[in-house]
Amino acid sequence: MNRALNALQSTKSTRNLGLKHRNTFGFEVSAELAYDITVPEQIPEVMSEIAKQKLAWRVLGGGSNVILPKILAGATLLMNIAGQEIISADDKNTYLSVGGGVNWHEFVAWTLEHDLPGLENLALIPGTVGAAPIQNIGAYGVEVAEYIDSIIVFDVKDQAFVTLTKDACCFAYRDSYFKQNPQRFIVTQVVFKIPKSWKPRIHYADLAKQFFENANPSPEDIFLAVCKIRTHKLPDPKVIGNAGSFFQNPIIPIEQFEALLKKHVDLVSYPDLPGKRKLAAGWLIDQCGFKGQRLGSVGVYENQALVLVNHGGGTAQDVLSLAQSIQDKVRAEFGVSLVIEPNLF
Summarize as ranges the residues that interact with ligand EPU (CB under 6 A). Answer: 139-140, 206, 233-234, 244-245, 248-249, 268, 280, 282-283, 286, 291, 304-306, 341
Residue 111 three-state SS = helix
Q: List active site positions.
A: 174, 245, 341
Taking the complex as a whole, the smallest distance from the CB of residue 44 to ligand EPU amounts, in Å, to 32
Closest approach of ligand EPU to the CB of residue 169, in Å: 18
Say how far apart CA 301 and CA 299 lie, in whole Å. 6
What's the alpha-carbon Rg for the chain, to the nearest Å? 21
Q: Choose between 164 and 307: whose C-beta lies nearer to ligand EPU.
A: 307
Exposure string (b/e) for 233-262, b if CB count within 10 Å is 16 or more?
A: ebbebeebbbbbbbbbbbbbeeebbeebee
Rounded to the nearest whole angstrom, what is the least distance from the CB of residue 6 to ligand EPU in the complex? Answer: 37
Residue 194 identity (one-letter amino acid): I
Nearer to ligand EPU, 173 or 345 (CB): 173
The least CB distance from residue 312 to ligand EPU, in Å, is 21
Rank residues 109 and 305 by Cβ distance to ligand EPU and give the closer one: 305
Shortest reach from residue 132's CB to ligand EPU, in Å:
11
Nearer to ligand EPU, 282 or 299 (CB): 282
Distances (CA, A) of 307 to 136, 139, 261, 279, 297: 18, 15, 24, 16, 14
Half-sphere exposure at residue 62, Cβ-oriented, CA atoms within 13 angstroms: 24
| Closest to ligand EPU by CB, 96 or 144 | 144
Give residues with Cβ within 8 angstroms of 240, minimum separation 6.
Answer: 301, 309, 310, 311
Cβ-closest residue to ligand EPU?
Answer: 244
Q: Are 153 and 179 in contact (CB under 8 A)?
A: no
Q: What are phi and psi of 209, to 5 degrees?
A: -60, -40
